[in-house]
Amino acid sequence: NAGVTQTPKFQVLKTGQSMTLQCAQDMNHNSMYWYRQDPGMGLRLIYYSASEGTTDKGEVPNGYNVSRLNKREFSLRLESAAPSQTSVYFCASSVQKETQYFGPGTRLLVL
Amino acid sequence: AQSVTQLDSQVPVFEEAPVELRCNYSSSVSVYLFWYVQYPNQGLQLLLKYLSGSTLVESINGFEAEFNKSQTSFHLRKPSVHISDTAEYFCAVSNAGGTSYGKLTFGQGTILTVHP
């Protein structure tokens, strides 16, 4: 089992460009999450998907959209990147309220 | 709303010394509590968790944490640290009831640096 995988690992964007971060899990988990990690702020929830076909906003959803493509995949889209979105992005999955399993992260720099 | 406060942003310690990383939380409902560890340039890994039952929980690599409901704390301890314990540690909380679907609220993180 690969667990939670994320692509790409690194990305540099110019302000205004768009991109999609991909996440997939092979653990048959119902719930999936997107977080961003910034120095001194811990991880903050952007969006989550409690189950296939549902998505909901987290703490910092502005500037992002998500798609729960199927049970395995949960993508995060930046429609018009801004320097404030420079961060490390983590995808996670879980069986409802149990332990969350995290991917290796995507490091995004917006110039 | 929930919040988590990790009281120390950085904790330097010598190898084989004991360490305590402090975590306090605020919540109006029952909670689950977690400690995650992040090694450099990696994702987060679960270290230990409290869901119910015994308030003292242990990890396989010698860490332990005690849930103290009256003090709303979940401090992480290890009696003797190793160089390999150098990492950033995150305390997190989620609702034990309702339909929060496991949404985690994280603390700001504590960087543990173990010196030889």
Give the C-alpha separation, A56 to B24, whole Å: 27
Q: How confident is the model at residue A63 (pLDDT cuts 50, 70, 90)?
A: very high
Of B43, B95, B106, the CB nearest to A42: B106
SS3 (DSSP) at B84: helix
Considering only CB atoms, which chain B residues are within 8 Å of A42? 4, 6, 90, 106-109
SS3 (DSSP) at B26: strand
Encoding tokens for residue B63? 């860490």
Q: Does A75 touch chain B (CB under 8 A)?
A: no
- A4-36: pLDDT as tens digits: 999 999 999 999 999 999 999 999 999 999 999
Q: Does A55 touch chain B (CB under 8 A)?
A: no
Alpha helices in A2-111 (DSSP H): none
Residue A99 is predicted with a pLDDT of 84
Cβ of B103 within 8 Å of Cβ of A33? The answer is yes
Sign of the Cα torsion B10, B20, A102, A30 reads: negative
Question: Virtual CA dihedral for A3, B64, B29, A65, nearest 10 degrees?
Answer: -30
Confidence check: pLDDT of A97 > 70: no
Question: Which residue does chain A place closest to B1, by CA atoms?
Answer: A59
Listed in sequence order, the residues at least 6 apart from A88 whose beta carbon sits closer than 8 Å to its beta carbon are A36, A37, A38, A105, A106, A107, A108
Considering only CB atoms, which chain A residues are within 8 Å of B100? 97
Considering only CB atoms, which chain A residues are within 8 Å of B34? 99
* Pairwise pLDDT comparison (B12 vs A53), residue with the higher score: B12
- B59-93: pLDDT as tens digits: 988 999 999 999 999 999 999 999 999 999 999 99
Residue from A34, A100, A101, A106 whose CB has the most chain B CBs within 10 Å, to mutate: A100
Report the percent of chain A where pLDDT is more than 70: 96
Residue B100 is predicted with a pLDDT of 55
Tokens 């704390």 appear where? B73
Of A45, A104, A105, the CB nearest to B103: A45
- A34-52: pLDDT as tens digits: 999 998 888 999 999 988 8
- B2-59: pLDDT as tens digits: 899 999 999 999 999 999 999 999 988 888 999 999 998 888 999 999 988 888 999 9
- A76-86: pLDDT as tens digits: 999 999 999 99
Residue A26 is predicted with a pLDDT of 95
Distance between B7 CA and the closest CA of chain A, angstroms = 12
CB pairs < 8 Å spanning A and B = 61
Cβ of A97 within 8 Å of Cβ of B94? The answer is yes
